[in-house]
Amino acid sequence: MTGRILILGAAGRFGYAAAEAFRKARWKVASLVRPGAAARAPNGTKVIEVDALDHAAVTEAARGADVVLHALNPPYTQWSKLALPLAYSAITAAETAGATLIFPGNLYNFGKGLPEVIDETTPMRPSSRKGRLRIAIEDRMEEAAERGLRSIILRAGDYYGGGEGSWFDLVIVNEIGRGRLTYPGPIDLVHEWAYLPDLAAAMVRLAEVRATLGAFECFCFPGHAVSGREFTTAVARASGRGLQVKRMTWWLIHALGPIMPISRELSEMAYLWNESHRIDGRRLAAAIGEVPHTPLDVAVARALEELGAIGHDAIRARKS
């Protein structure tokens, strides 16, 4: 089953990857971007320049859509102001159009004291502002489902691949040109990663089977649950050279929290790097069959190539 999808925030990292995945799966894709951002929209899609906070305009853009993907992601320090209004815009648009609403969830909902294995039944006890906002968004979606809206949440760990804007490029490989990697947590703890092209492909599969699902569904995406040592070793293998691995300096971020909003927001997320966790994806596999999964070494090499950190020769060597 294919159809027509409106992607809210298609110029963003996740929205762009999702637009590409749906387009390749032969969906008719409309990319909603902020005014003036048309040049950043995915090729081969219908571009709609609209302020996402203009609920009436977004609702009009969703007319005729079978699926609305809420990929709007406000700046890290503006979540408390914009997260819920943007969610209301997405919910209203999908509900009015009679479309299925899809939302990329994350692990903020669970807060400190993470269990080692996370699935759809894991209790949500947020310990951060962003975690509470995420739960509020999902609660609004569930309430809309009681009115007839069909919604799907696909929850995943930290993104990498698909360009810039994640812990992978902003922190871990930021100094790879100098022969250094910076890892945010203890090197032997397991951390859950989501290779973005795989996550987007899984979202396409969920959209294709949406008619078989309940009114409000949540699935967990099993990406690469690996230790910091395994992850940084994969980066070193892809780069073809030895790299020094150092630990991220969290104390400075914690100290600056009271005076710098970005440090405060990052500080609240530190627990995700200090508590071992992985995602159980059996329920997702039961819904869509085989879950898209690129081998770690290949995914890391492709992500580095997209950032310009390694060349095409290294990619070909990994494939041979």
What are the structural domain ranges in the chain?
4-161+195-223+276-293
Q: How far apart are the first and last CA of the chain?
A: 35
pTM of the model: 0.93
Q: How confident is the model over 109-167, as pLDDT tens digits?
A: 999 999 999 999 999 999 999 999 999 999 999 999 999 999 999 999 999 998 888 89
The whole-angstrom separation of Cα 149 and Cα 226 is 36
Residue 276 or residue 165, greater confidence: 276
Decide: helix, strand or coil at residue 97: helix
Structure tokens at 292: 């898209």
* CA–CA distances in Å: residue 78 to residues 85, 166, 316: 11, 17, 41
Q: What is residue 147's predicted lDDT score, i.e. its pLDDT?
A: 95
The overall longest dimension of the chain from CA atoms, in Å, is: 56
Q: What is residue 165's predicted lDDT score, i.e. its pLDDT?
A: 86
Task: Over range 28-48, report the average pLDDT.
Answer: 95
User: The domain at 4-161+195-223+276-293 falls in which architecture?
Assistant: 3-Layer(aba) Sandwich (3.40)
What does the DSSP 8-state code read for residue 39?
A: G
Tokens 């795989």, located at residue: 198
Q: Is the pLDDT of residue 1 over 70?
A: no
Q: How confident is the model over 253-271, as pLDDT tens digits?
A: 878 777 777 777 788 889 9
Cβ-contact 235, 160 below 8 angstroms: no
